Amino acid sequence: MYNKLLYIMHKALKKIRLSAIKNSKIHWTSKVESGTSFINSVMGKHSFCGYNCEITNADIGSFCSIANGVVIGGGMHPTDWLSTSPVFYSGRDSVKAKFSSHERIAPKKVSIGHDVWIGQNALIKQGVNIGIGAVIGMGSVVTKDVAPYAIVAGCPAKTIKSRFDKDLCEQLLSSEWWDIEDSILLQHGQLIRDPKSFIESLNK
């Protein structure tokens, strides 16, 4: 009983922190967990983002699963200036001093396709495009674009394999199943473990 009470208290404390959402649009069927910062971003239907994530300037598709501690996008320090310190560029920062107020180049958007799974503590650099159906391994550092249905992992992230063969990948992309009505998905949901049968059923 004591352990159960501690567990409930722990879950309540995680939830009570809430999430910081600004200039963003999240589909009503999707969820951003507490402790997460979700800024200048969009999330499609039936997607979720776990606890303690930092997501900035990202377009996230439908049916995406983003684990805890993931960092997506964000700004970069100028490396071609005399200094990379924020005391030389405009905006509020951790340090108070300002010796100049030059504008930095605006951060690039991150594009995350539909049905993408991003593992815990993955880092995704600004400007990266992650294809539909891709899987990003936990702890990965993604600095380059990821192809549809590719499974990548490592630092920097490299392709390990594809989830499906080329023909099936093309069929899935052509089906655009993520855009069909929920009522139709409900009819075909029992076939989700067999992608080929699922596509055949949709095409009937």
> Does the bond joining 86 to the residue before it have cis omega, within 30 degrees of 0?
no
pLDDT block averages, 10 residues each, the chain of length 204? 62 64 95 93 96 96 97 86 83 79 85 98 97 98 97 96 96 95 90 92 83
CA–CA distance, 153 with 173 (Å, rounded to integer): 22
Q: What is the pLDDT of residue 139?
A: 97
Strand ranges across the sheet with 117-118: 31-32, 48-49, 65-66, 117-118, 135-136, 150-153, 158-162
CATH architecture of 22-76+108-163: 3 Solenoid (2.160)
Residue 164, C-beta contacts closer than 8 angstroms, at least 6 positions apart: 149, 172, 195
Q: What is the pLDDT of residue 143?
A: 96
Phi, psi of 31 (to 5 degrees): -145, 135
Q: Residue 32, by phi and psi: left (phi above 0), alpha (psi -120 to 50) or beta?
A: beta
Per the annotation, the verdict on 77 as an active-site residue is: yes
Q: What is the pLDDT of residue 7?
A: 57
Give the residue from 40, 37, 39, 43 showing the smallest Cα distance to 19: 37
- What residues does each domain of the chain span? 22-76+108-163, 165-204
Structure tokens at 1: 């009983």
Q: What is the pLDDT of residue 27?
A: 97
Residue 27, C-beta contacts closer than 8 angstroms, at least 6 positions apart: 43, 44, 45, 46, 47, 62
The model's pTM is 0.87
Query: Which residue in the list 10, 27, 46, 77 is annotated as catalytic?
Result: 77
